[in-house]
Chains A and B, each alone.
Chain A
Amino acid sequence: AQTTLDEWAKDPVDPEIRAHVYSLITALGGIGDDGTYSLGDDALLCLKDLRKWLKFADGQLNRRDVARCMAEANLVKGDLLEILAKISERIMQDRLKHKLAVATLELLVPLTWPFEIDPVEATVNHHRHGPYIQLAQIGYKRAILQYDRARILQTAIRIALPSMAVPLRERTPRDEGIIRIALYFIRNIAMLSPPRNAPMDIDEAEISRSTTIDTFQEQDIFQAILSVASSIGEDFVTQDVVVLEILFYLLKGIDAEKLFMEDKKLKSKNTDELKSLIQKEKAMLAGYARHAPTRHNRFGTMIWVKRDEDKVSTISGQDVLGKAQKSMQKMDTSKKWNKPKYTGRRKDGEQEREEFDLPVTLTPSARKRIKAFVEEFLDSSFNPLFLHLRKAIERETERVETRHPRQYFYLVSWFLRAECARRRTMKEKAADPKSNEALTAEDESYGLVAEVMNQETFILLNRFMQKSQDEKAWQDLNAGMKCFTQILLTVQEMSESALEDDQEIAENTQNRIFYEEATHDRVVHILRSYKDQGFGYLDAVTELSHVFLRMLERYSKQNVDMQVRSKRRARKIRKKQAEAQGLEGEEEGHVSETEDIVAAQRTVSERKFDFTRFAAKFINQSSVNTFVAFTRYYSELDAEQLKRAHRFFYRVAFKLDIAVLLYRVDILQLFNKMIKGPEGLDQESPAFKEWEEFVRHFFRTVVKRVQDRPELVVEMLFSKIPATIFYLEHGYDRELPTRT
């Protein structure tokens, strides 16, 4: 039989559903006599019916047909936005119009609800319609942001205003529902972002973060968010998680440091960045040019490389002439086989990985606006909102979902960073004699972020990190580590504050953080157990361990009598005390007191070299591996990150004298490549000199060691075994205490 075009182009949607939905959309309204939109007679009922279709046909039968029909029929732009525009002026006065507006919003929220495929519930249907709907949603976002006849987002908030005005106790469930859908609408708009895997035919700038921020500002959405957030706990309770999500999707990926830089400084920084990028490119091209052939590509040179046992290898190409190193490299790169790489666990990680490790750039206007918002938020709403959220998370309230703690800790770290950056610029301004800015930064203490710097938060954070580590929820752990790092840095800045109160608080906080030995162990353990979690995670791990180790070192130097709560130790002392009390009952008072002192002194004296012990625990083969994995990204690391890696290796090789951990051919090759290329570090970059010195120094020790102990030539291939590390390092066996 002959196939017709109709048969071939089969409608992916059930025709009956399509007919029903289309007739409803047609009945909704259209262009009236006066050229504007005019509502159909039963518009309200139509809206309700459409919503029912969406809810029952799509929701309960687990399909996506209705949503697709609505997208194809241009419902959002052609009808819903038109309706909102028409009635938005009189929403607050006219009850019927308000009802209509609520019905419209109730349809808009599920339509813009971010698309996600749930692997358990999804049917073929979801996968069939998914890409189309995702693209359509981006179209919705664009239409809503760019709509020129009415402020859609503002209208959404206005719809909720009457319900928000009702005091919390007197609010009906319906009022709560209206507030919720209005906020979720804002969240959806903030959250929708173009899918990475599908091409789009609209300009990305029209739906970018900058445009979203600009529109939020124009339509006073920031004001609405601020007023909800600042009165959380009083007038609003369950809305905290929605506000959290809005903030998260607005702020993730934005560089908080840059946000608070002065315009001039930012410009010069951006110029510097551009300069360094151009420089990098130049260095790269020069690197290629150095090895590029000087004659045409069919010149046909071929050389022999003589090898032992009268063997030769042949290599073609004139670029290797007279360059032994280059020919070695070419021999290697021309091999065709690649070791299969580990590729598992990628499939669902794709989205998560990019969630907040992807930097976002803003236009100057958006930057200014979001900065103003962040400042106001810190001043008015940070403490109440984050206190409230912390309690909700602690209580594991029903509305808190698994993603919320992650977003919470990410935002905590983001705002701490922002606050520190803000104070720094304020200080600089005050220090500048030309400006007449008063010294406001110093009057204020760190009270604005106090709610996340208390013991309760630390406990929650510790528990969260432990849990995500146990459950292998790496993205959660990533957020937790970022938060912890930022807390440490904030405490550091606090201790340098001019206010004595701040210093005291910082001191106390440090006491509490460093008191728990479990925390130390956790940091070490996370660093040691890195495996294929992606670059963003790797960056967070290395930063945390760098900051933690540095601050612990400084702290333990200042507090020589530092005490650590460790279970094992406590038991020992208790046992001692028990012995003292038990055995020498009659002299109890006197003896146990001296015993206590002895015990205390013992811990004091032990603590003195406790840091060295900790550092020794910190540095081992697996942590070296983690940092080597980090350093492999050297061409993409910035100066600060390179410094971090440099400090670590320096500590391993020269401070702690276990350079033997670094004696491995792959590490030597990496270092050699970084300095000598090809495709090495840029020689003009600030980090280069440090690294060059370190590597030279390190190579010298390697050469010396290998001459002293030829057995290293073989050991250089492997990670070292604990049994032989000491011998390889020192050349003699460790004297083991003989037991009798």
Chain B
Amino acid sequence: AAEDAGLGIDEEIKVVRKRQPIPKLDENRLLSDPGIPKLRKISKERLRFKGKGHEYGDIARMLNMYQLWLDDLYPRAKFADGLVMIEKLGHTKRIQLMRKEWIDEGKPRHTTEPDDED
């Protein structure tokens, strides 16, 4: 019919540009290399405390470590916002299992058989 005559040449081609998806701070990102594994690494390497009499300085240094780490992991969010997002992720099953594992790694002996959670 009428539409076939023009073979669709006259019609304008609409270019629908898809929006760039905004990167999300999700479980995968948190568990990826720059995520918690890196935090565990840098905390072992860098975190030095001066101890008694320097409480505020020590904590400020620790907070700075977290802030820089979070800035590398997810530059989009402010520190406080990022903390809220991560805290929320901590309620998911997967992260909880991982947390338990990390803690168990730190325990003195691995005598107890692996829990039947898997």
Using CB atoms and an 8 Å cutoff, list the residues of chain A in contact with chain B: 307-308, 324-325, 328, 331-333, 335, 337-339, 664-666, 668-669, 672, 675-676, 696, 699-700, 702-703, 706-707, 709-711, 713-719, 721, 723-724, 727-728
Contacts of A715 in B (CB 8 A): 99, 103
Of A668, A700, A714, A723, the residue contacting B40 (CB under 8 A) is: A714
Contacts of B59 in A (CB 8 A): 668, 672, 699, 702-703
B32 at the interface (CB under 8 A from A): no
Q: Roughly how many angstroms separate A669 CA and B78 CA in the complex, as a whole number?
A: 13
Of A328, A668, A717, the residue contacting B86 (CB under 8 A) is: A717
Q: Tell which of A324, A328, A331, A714 has the most Cβ of chain B within 10 Å.
A: A714
Q: Indicate if the CB atoms of B86 and A721 lie closer than 8 Å.
A: no
Q: Indicate if the CB atoms of B77 and A668 lie closer than 8 Å.
A: no
Of A706, A719, A727, the residue contacting B90 (CB under 8 A) is: A719
Q: Roughly how many angstroms separate A703 CA and B71 CA in the complex, as a whole number?
A: 23
Q: Indicate if the CB atoms of A717 and B87 lie closer than 8 Å.
A: yes
Contacts of B81 in A (CB 8 A): 337-339
Task: Determine how close the nearest CB of chain A comes to the CB of B17; give it in whole angstroms.
Answer: 22
Q: Tell which of B43, B47, B52, B55 has the most Cβ of chain A within 10 Å.
A: B55
Using CB atoms and an 8 Å cutoff, list the residues of chain B in contact with chain A: 36, 39-40, 42-44, 47, 49, 51-52, 55-56, 58-60, 62-64, 66-68, 71-72, 75-81, 83-87, 90-91, 95-96, 99-100, 102-103, 105-107
Of A335, A669, A709, A719, the residue contacting B106 (CB under 8 A) is: A709
Q: Roughly how many angstroms separate A724 CA and B67 CA in the complex, as a whole number?
A: 25
Q: List 28 A-B residue pairs with CB atoms under 8 Å apart, sorted by A's residue number.
A: A332-B67, A332-B79, A335-B76, A339-B84, A664-B87, A665-B63, A665-B83, A666-B84, A666-B87, A669-B80, A699-B55, A699-B58, A703-B49, A703-B59, A706-B47, A710-B43, A711-B106, A714-B99, A715-B99, A716-B66, A717-B83, A717-B86, A718-B86, A718-B90, A721-B96, A721-B99, A727-B107, A728-B103
Task: Determine how close the nearest CB of chain A comes to the CB of B24; give it in whole angstroms.
Answer: 12
Contacts of B68 in A (CB 8 A): 307-308, 328
Contacts of B96 in A (CB 8 A): 721
User: Contacts A335-B78, A710-B43, A719-B90; is A672 near B63 (CB within 8 Å)?
Assistant: yes
Q: Roughly how many angstroms separate A472 CA and B49 CA in the complex, as a whole number?
A: 47
Q: Indicate if the CB atoms of B66 and A665 lie closer than 8 Å.
A: yes
Q: Indicate if the CB atoms of B36 and A699 lie closer than 8 Å.
A: no
Q: Indicate if the CB atoms of B63 and A669 lie closer than 8 Å.
A: yes
Contacts of B60 in A (CB 8 A): 325, 672, 676
Task: Determine how close the nearest CB of chain A comes to the CB of B33; give it in whole angstroms.
Answer: 12
Task: Determine how close the nearest CB of chain A comes to the CB of B31; give it in whole angstroms.
Answer: 11
Contacts of A328 in B (CB 8 A): 64, 67-68
Contacts of B51 in A (CB 8 A): 703
Q: Roughly how many angstroms separate A706 CA and B106 CA in the complex, as a whole number?
A: 12
Q: Indicate if the CB atoms of A723 and B100 lie closer than 8 Å.
A: yes
Task: Determine how close the nearest CB of chain B comes to the CB of A141; give it in whole angstroms.
Answer: 45
Q: Roughly how many angstroms separate A521 CA and B13 CA in the complex, as a whole number?
A: 66
Q: Roughly how many angstroms separate A333 CA and B67 CA in the complex, as a whole number?
A: 12
Q: Closest residue to A671 on the B side, CB-wise?
A: B59
Q: Indicate if the CB atoms of B56 and A676 lie closer than 8 Å.
A: yes
Contacts of A709 in B (CB 8 A): 106
Q: Roughly how many angstroms separate A716 CA and B62 CA in the complex, as a whole number?
A: 11
Contacts of A324 in B (CB 8 A): 64
Ranked 5 nearest A-B pairs via Cβ:
A718-B90, A339-B81, A711-B106, A699-B55, A713-B43
Q: Indicate if the CB atoms of B86 and A711 lie closer than 8 Å.
A: no
Q: Indicate if the CB atoms of B77 and A335 lie closer than 8 Å.
A: yes
Task: Determine how close the nearest CB of chain A comes to the CB of B51; give it in whole angstroms.
Answer: 7
Task: Determine how close the nearest CB of chain A comes to the CB of B110; give it in whole angstroms.
Answer: 13
Q: Closest residue to B36 on the A side, CB-wise?
A: A714
Of A675, A707, A719, the residue contacting B49 (CB under 8 A) is: A707
Q: Indicate if the CB atoms of A700 and B52 lie closer than 8 Å.
A: yes
Contacts of B83 in A (CB 8 A): 665-666, 669, 717
Q: Closest residue to A696 on the B side, CB-wise?
A: B55
Q: Roughly how many angstroms separate A707 CA and B51 CA in the complex, as a whole number?
A: 10
Q: Closest residue to A718 on the B side, CB-wise?
A: B90
Contacts of B80 in A (CB 8 A): 666, 669
Q: Indicate if the CB atoms of A703 and B76 lie closer than 8 Å.
A: no
Contacts of B63 in A (CB 8 A): 665, 668-669, 672
Q: Indicate if the CB atoms of B100 and A721 lie closer than 8 Å.
A: yes
Of A696, A703, A719, the residue contacting B87 (CB under 8 A) is: A719
Q: Indicate if the CB atoms of B103 and A711 lie closer than 8 Å.
A: yes
Q: Closest residue to A325 on the B side, CB-wise?
A: B60
Known: A665-B66, A703-B55. 20 other contacts (CB 8 A): A325-B60, A332-B67, A332-B79, A335-B76, A338-B78, A664-B87, A669-B83, A672-B63, A696-B56, A699-B55, A702-B59, A709-B106, A711-B106, A713-B40, A714-B40, A714-B102, A715-B99, A717-B87, A718-B87, A718-B90
Q: Roughly how many angstroms separate A446 CA and B81 CA in the complex, as a whole number?
A: 51
Contacts of A714 in B (CB 8 A): 36, 39-40, 99, 102
Contacts of B106 in A (CB 8 A): 709-711
Contacts of B100 in A (CB 8 A): 721, 723-724
Q: Roughly how many angstroms separate A624 CA and B51 CA in the complex, as a whole number?
A: 27
User: Contacts A337-B76, A666-B80, A696-B56; is A717 near B90 (CB within 8 Å)?
Assistant: yes
Q: Closest residue to B65 on the A side, CB-wise?
A: A713
Q: Roughly how many angstroms separate A583 CA and B55 CA in the complex, as a whole number?
A: 65
Task: Determine how close the nearest CB of chain B comes to the CB of A276; give it in whole angstroms.
Answer: 25
Task: Determine how close the nearest CB of chain B comes to the CB of A272; give it in whole angstroms.
Answer: 30
Q: Roughly how many angstroms separate A332 CA and B52 CA in the complex, as a whole number?
A: 29
Contacts of A672 in B (CB 8 A): 56, 59-60, 63
Task: Determine how close the nearest CB of chain B comes to the CB of A575; give it in whole angstroms.
Answer: 35
Q: Closest residue to B68 on the A side, CB-wise?
A: A307
Q: Closest residue to A313 on the B side, CB-wise?
A: B71
Task: Determine how close the nearest CB of chain A comes to the CB of B115; give it in whole angstroms.
Answer: 10
